[in-house]
Amino acid sequence: MNDAAGKRSLLSRVSPTQWVAIGLSIFAVVFVLENRGKVSVEILLITVSSPMWLILLAMFVVGWIAGVLTTRRARR
């Protein structure tokens, strides 16, 4: 084996997909740090007070679950 091929730099061993994942992770951390303020959200007759990022994360999960359930039904 060639010595130069075995000693690739750390940066050259990271795939483009991993770079995108790193970038999205950094974006997510910045988003959470910027949106720590509490907001009030009314759901039917209940008022929930929580950090904005947590409310948005909950809505993302609800949307993801709805998408998964819809996709599984379409395949049957």
Least confident of 6-15, 29-38, 46-55, 67-76: 67-76
pTM of the shown model: 0.58
pLDDT averaged over the chain?
Answer: 82
Higher pLDDT, 12 or 58: 58
pLDDT of 35 higher than 80: yes
Cβ-in-10-Å burial (0-12, 13-18, 19+) of 32 comes to middle
Say how far apart CA 19 and CA 37 lie, in whole Å.
Answer: 30
Burial call 1-10: b when 16+ CB within 10 Å, e when fewer: eeeeeeeeee
- Measured between its terminal Cα atoms, the distance across the chain in Å is 51
What pLDDT score does 3 carry? 53
For the chain, what are the domain ranges?
Answer: 50-76
What pLDDT score does 15 carry? 85
